[in-house]
Amino acid sequence: MSSRPESSLAQRKRQLVSNELTEAALRLLALKGFDAVTVDEIVSTAGVSKRTFFRYFASKEDVVVQFLTEMGTGIHAELAARPGEERPSVALKAAVSVPIAACVDHADRALRVVQLILRTPALHARFLERQAQWHDDLTAELARRPGSAPDTDLYPQMAAGMALTAFNTVLQRWSDSDSAEDPTGLIDRTFALISPALDAR
């Protein structure tokens, strides 16, 4: 008898608990600030035990790190799914627009989380640490696209860096403006500036 249905059910339950913990933690952290929130408050809000929390996360900081990891995974997956013949500027803009669109769809909570990350030194450091991995992943993906010579070509690394700089600029402007600036419009403007360089090969 196969255990696959049970395994699938267990995975779904784990994901549900993880999502509940993440939502509770991000909501509290954004509302009260990183230093003011305790793990006890997070588990109380999520309705789980402290032991359960530590089965999923090593610390409250790890909740934010997972959020950032998922953001980077979304960017990479979108770039990998783009047609090989597509202009690099179009493919990269679509890729970094994935988390931007998610921010627009959940603007109130997303803005608070972005501001929390950018304004908390420990979390901002982890954000930059995660982005180093994003950069490597995007570089590798760009090197696999038609016309690249990964052993000698500087382009993939440079292009990945430009796309992430555009992404960071949009998040910073959106955060600083308290959402007064539209992130979708900001993405359009930043890529209008860098697209000639991205497509000049």
User: What pLDDT sits at residue 151?
Assistant: 56
User: What pLDDT sits at residue 30?
Assistant: 81
User: What pLDDT sits at residue 13?
Assistant: 83
Q: What is the DSSP letter of 110?
A: H
Residues 6+ apart with CB under 8 A from 72: 130, 131, 133, 134, 137
Closest residue by Cα to residue 116 from 25, 20, 21, 53? 25
User: What pLDDT sits at residue 3?
Assistant: 47
Name the strand (E) or helix (H) holding 59. none
Closest residue by Cα to residue 71 from 48, 47, 103? 103
User: What pLDDT sits at residue 63?
Assistant: 84
User: What pLDDT sits at residue 65?
Assistant: 80
Closest residue by Cα to residue 175 from 98, 102, 105, 119? 119
Terminal alpha carbon distance of the chain: 56
> 1-57 architecture in CATH?
Orthogonal Bundle (1.10)
User: What pLDDT sits at residue 58?
Assistant: 87
Domain positions in the chain: 1-57, 60-198
Q: Does domain 60-198 have CATH number 3.20.19.10?
A: no
CA distance 2 to 157: 46
- Chunked in runs of 10, what are the mean pLDDT values of the chain (201 residues)? 60 83 86 89 90 89 82 93 94 95 83 88 88 94 79 84 96 93 94 95 71
User: What pLDDT sits at residue 2?
Assistant: 47
Say what the pTM is: 0.82
